[in-house]
């Protein structure tokens, strides 16, 4: 005789909003085949509960002030005591790069917080059956899906200019090409002080502090730069 079907799916919820946690627990426990066995308010608690209670599913909020979801995922998937738990990330909004990272770190699902309850229940059952769930759909071929996501997020990065003006992008291109301030000033027929002013604005906008960091940022983020020379 097979008793497995009568055993409810054991779930831990980790979210920093008590009202959201309480509402979610009530929704889940209205289902006879689901049981909430623990609740945490940050990523560190989520990791501890996952390791001690060994739930089937960990519903993990992506954006928690202390120890956010991706950090908790890293903790669960690394170290001597990797914890085998199926993680579904809950998020109000996720960039494609975050979804890619979460799936690469071992998350089995990503569910938007504004989803209908039925979608979350569907996501839980999809993940329990061994497949993945992202947004509003199940994913059976994860490798292909990740490839598509990585491609589309790099396309988006190319289109992002991080608030840089056309002139600032030209200055960045010149820095990447190895030009000095004096050479940049001569090339664009502007003063060296103007070049320094542009660089100061660029550093502020991108959160970098040296020319090397600026060049690395431009390359890593695939900034849309025209070749100089």
pLDDT tens by residue, 89-102: 999 887 788 888 89
Helices 166-176, 192-206: axis angle to 10 degrees equals: 100
Buried b vs exposed e over 203-214: b needs ≥16 C-beta within 10 Å? beebebeebeeb
Tens of pLDDT, residues 18-43: 999 999 999 999 999 999 999 999 99
What local confidence, expressed as pLDDT, does residue 82 receive?
A: 63
Token reading at 125? 């059952």
3-state secondary structure of 91: strand
What percent of the chain has pLDDT above 70? 91
The arithmetic mean of pLDDT across residues 105-109, rounded, is: 92
What local confidence, expressed as pLDDT, does residue 224 receive?
A: 78
Domains of the chain: 4-151 (3.40.50.2300), 160-220 (1.10.10.10)
73 versus 151: the higher-pLDDT residue is 73
CA torsion 36→42→43→49, rounded to 10°? -40
Residue 103 vs residues 87, 146, 190: alpha-carbon distances, Å? 10, 8, 48
Q: What are phi and psi of 72, to 5 degrees?
A: -60, -40
Residue 207 has pLDDT above 50, yes or no: yes
Tens of pLDDT, residues 195-205: 999 999 999 98
What percent of the chain has pLDDT above 90? 55
Radius of gyration of the chain measured on its C-alpha atoms: 23
CA torsion 40→45→51→52, rounded to 10°? -70
Residue 222 has pLDDT above 80, yes or no: no
Residue 1 vs residues 4, 6, 10, 34, 128: alpha-carbon distances, Å? 9, 11, 22, 21, 21
Helices 69-77, 96-104: axis angle to 10 degrees equals: 20
Residue 161 vs residues 113, 138, 147, 172, 175: alpha-carbon distances, Å? 29, 33, 23, 11, 16
Residue 155 has pLDDT above 80, yes or no: no
Tens of pLDDT, residues 163-202: 888 899 999 999 999 999 999 999 999 999 999 999 999 9
In the numeric block, the tokens 């289902």 are attached to: 31
Residue 200 vs residues 122, 172, 187: alpha-carbon distances, Å? 50, 11, 19
């Amino acid at each position: 005789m097979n008793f497995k079907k009568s055993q409810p799916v054991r779930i831990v919820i980790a979210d920093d909003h008590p009202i959201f946690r309480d509402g979610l627990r009530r929704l889940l426990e209205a289902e006879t085949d689901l049981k909430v066995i623990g609740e945490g308010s940050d990523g560190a608690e989520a990791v501890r509960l996952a390791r001690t209670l060994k739930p089937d599913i960990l519903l993990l909020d992506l954006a928690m002030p202390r120890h956010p979801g991706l950090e908790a995922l890293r903790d669960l998937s690394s170290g001597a005591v990797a914890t085998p738990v199926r993680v579904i990330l809950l998020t109000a909004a996720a960039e494609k790069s975050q979804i890619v990272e979460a799936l690469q770190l071992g998350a089995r699902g990503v569910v938007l917080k504004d989803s209908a309850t039925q979608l979350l229940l569907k996501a839980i059952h999809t993940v329990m059956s061994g497949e993945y769930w992202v947004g509003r759909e199940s994913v059976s071929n994860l490798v292909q899906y990740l490839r598509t996501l990585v491609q589309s997020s790099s396309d988006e990065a190319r289109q992002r200019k991080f608030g840089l003006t056309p002139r600032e992008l030209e200055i960045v291109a010149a820095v990447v090409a190895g030009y000095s301030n004096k050479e940049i000033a001569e090339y664009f027929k502007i003063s060296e002080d103007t070049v320094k002013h542009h660089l100061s604005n660029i550093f502020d906008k991108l959160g970098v502090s040296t020319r090397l960091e600026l060049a690395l940022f431009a390359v890593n983020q695939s900034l849309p730069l025209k070749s100089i020379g």
